[in-house]
Structure 1
């Protein structure tokens, strides 16, 4: 049976670094006590840069962005945000695809993943048209699954390669998280928003034996945590809720999974059997929870922490950035573990190795 390989990954970000401007903007709108707390938490978040399709505005101005899209007291409704998504998301996706530089004539399948916007005709059709893909290219959209959706997209690509070894699958993840910035002074919401950013990736998945070979996939639901991460459509965009209890849920579940009859996400193997960890950089405390849950050495999650520091949490694109960095450095992997967490609360994972 053919084995699917991630041959290469291209990545792209918008040009606007918003992290420092966001911290200043929010701190200026909070009372003195909460502003100090917010700045302290921002300093401990493990993030230095985040990028957005919006140019940041003045810290003490009326609008969070330079063009006035997020004007204080008059934030846009969901329709205006979706119009902006339709205008911006295809361009960012195509920028990532251009880094990958696939041959359009050889692409047989297109999988497009995004949870930050909806449009019809969809992103898949915009991308296929812009790339000049064949009219009979098989298109699939993975929507609204959140941060672990990269794993679901790769699982689909894996199934395609196993059933059609000659297939060449283009997997695209594009997220405009900053599009859903909310007009709020609620400390928990502003701290959650501080994590998220915009980014896109494009991966070529084929049976060619280069890059990372995809091995077994496994999902796991975490009991009694359904409301820990939610992502709901409201009148003012998509409203993210990220409970402060998420890291505790993850750490507890990972520890318990190691004693489960099926071996949990580690498939019954000791953590030290794995020589590479590609963990979704959802936030510093989430990475800390994985580190504690599996008793990992301090440097085990360095690739994920580096992505978090440089780009923030780009939802479904984030894990692909981590894998891209590993490919770029030519890292040799004997047994790797990739995982991400998202709404449910659930975990999605797969094992991988160098070709």
Structure 2
């Protein structure tokens, strides 16, 4: 039989700059007074209290620049090339912080595979090679970049990690999810776009996946793609950065997709058989739609809501922040994880806690 794969450790990291209230005020300043009141009322319902950015905010949210360095000047926000330079400078620092928090020690030299997910920036030689040098990884490590898949990329990375372990039980996979979402702030007076931006934060998660039987057993995976809903969520490269579009119809579309695929997701088990729920907190309304679709108890998504409250949506890193909480659960519990992104895609998995 093929070997089983386990998440042995997860560590998370965020930058030092807490920016949520600053960016709410900055975004509001781009709106007329009547739209500002609507924005503030809707932002208060988001379930987010703090978000973090690699870029220090300016001193005055109504001043000429959004950031202390003066890069995001009103009327002259940076282009995509400048933003990719910012990513190349800041992402390796935050990624190393996440990997260092795993406390690999001498085990770093034993890592055989490195998988990196990101959808917020690219450069080459890339962050995979930077991590190899910064974290003491072997020059012969096998590296894979999973790019531009969005919020569900972490589950795809876990799926790939499981395939690696099943084919080579001696493999030791380091998975890094690094996202700098706040770098893609857009200057706009469109209410929907400003509300969308006020979900996003920067963050990194690092995980060790091996055949050693402790932590979280990766049991099974299932993917749903609602192709007729692909227009509801997009992530596009523009001249002035990457632009996220999130339709207000996304929560209802997710609910419909989950209801139609519940048996496949849960392996024909009843919802009541699932002890733990690790749902990517793409936003409060997304979590509400999952809770309604699966008829979950209000407490079922408490860990996801807490991650959203403390960090916002950090794209592919966010799911692993929730999984870090799952590692603290008692042994022998069955869990279901899911994350959503462009496609419209729902990546799901079943897992078990193992002491």
- Normalising by structure 1, report the TM-score: 0.97
The separation in 1 between residues aligned to 2:61 and 2:109, in whole angstroms, is 48
The separation in 2 between residues aligned to 1:333 and 1:291, in whole angstroms, is 23
Q: Which residue of 1 aligns with 2:49?
A: 48
Q: Which residue of 2 aligns with 1:349?
A: 348
Paired residue secondary structure (1:306):
helix
Indicate whether 1:88 and 2:90 are aligned: yes
CA deviation vs aligned residue, 1:199-219 (integer Å, no higher than 9, x gap): 001100001111100011111
Residues 275 and 333 of structure 1 are in contact (CA less than 8 Å); yes or no, is this contact kept in structure 2? no
Q: Which residue of 2 aligns with 1:322?
A: 322
Question: Post-superposition shift, 1:132?
Answer: 2.2
Indicate whether 1:227 and 2:231 are aligned: yes
Any stretches of 5+ residues in structure 2 without a counterpart?
A: none
Match 1:218 to one of 222, 228, 241: 222
The list of structure 1 runs, each at least 4 consecutive aligned residues, that deviate by more than 6 angstroms after superposition, is none
The separation in 1 between residues aligned to 2:28 and 2:130, in whole angstroms, is 39
Q: Which residue of 2 aligns with 1:186?
A: 190
Paired residue secondary structure (1:226):
helix
The separation in 2 between residues aligned to 1:81 and 1:33, in whole angstroms, is 32
Q: Which residue of 2 aligns with 1:16?
A: 17
Q: Which residue of 2 aligns with 1:339?
A: 338
CA deviation vs aligned residue, 1:138-192 (integer Å, no higher than 9, x gap): 0000000000000000111000000000111000000000010001110000011
Residues 276 and 333 of structure 1 are in contact (CA less than 8 Å); yes or no, is this contact kept in structure 2? no
Indicate whether 1:280 and 2:280 are aligned: yes
Question: Post-superposition shift, 1:71?
Answer: 0.7
Q: Which residue of 2 aligns with 1:98?
A: 100
Question: Post-superposition shift, 1:333?
Answer: 4.9
Paired residue secondary structure (1:101):
coil
The separation in 1 between residues aligned to 2:143 and 2:64, in whole angstroms, is 42
Indicate whether 1:6 and 2:10 are aligned: no
Paired residue secondary structure (2:129):
helix
CA deviation vs aligned residue, 1:252-298 (integer Å, no higher than 9, x gap): 1112223xxxx232222211110000000100000000000100000
In the alignment of these two chains, the number of paired residues is: 350
Residues 99 and 135 of structure 2 are in contact (CA less than 8 Å); yes or no, is this contact kept in structure 1? no
The separation in 1 between residues aligned to 2:103 and 2:283, in whole angstroms, is 31
Q: Which residue of 2 aligns with 1:199?
A: 203
The separation in 2 between residues aligned to 1:244 and 1:276, in whole angstroms, is 28
The alpha-carbon distance between structure 1 residues 333 and 308, as it changes in their structure 2 partners (threshold 3 A), is farther
Alignment of 1:32-47 (within 5 A): 32-47=33-48
Q: CA RMSD of the aligned region, Å?
A: 1.0
Paired residue secondary structure (1:269):
coil
Paired residue secondary structure (2:287):
helix
Residues 113 and 173 of structure 1 are in contact (CA less than 8 Å); yes or no, is this contact kept in structure 2? yes
Q: Which residue of 2 aligns with 1:75?
A: 77
Residues 165 and 171 of structure 2 are in contact (CA less than 8 Å); yes or no, is this contact kept in structure 1? yes
Deviates more, 1:78-87 or 1:125-134: 125-134
Q: Which residue of 2 aligns with 1:147?
A: 151
Question: Post-superposition shift, 1:129?
Answer: 1.3
Residues 10 and 97 of structure 1 are in contact (CA less than 8 Å); yes or no, is this contact kept in structure 2? yes
- Normalising by structure 2, report the TM-score: 0.97
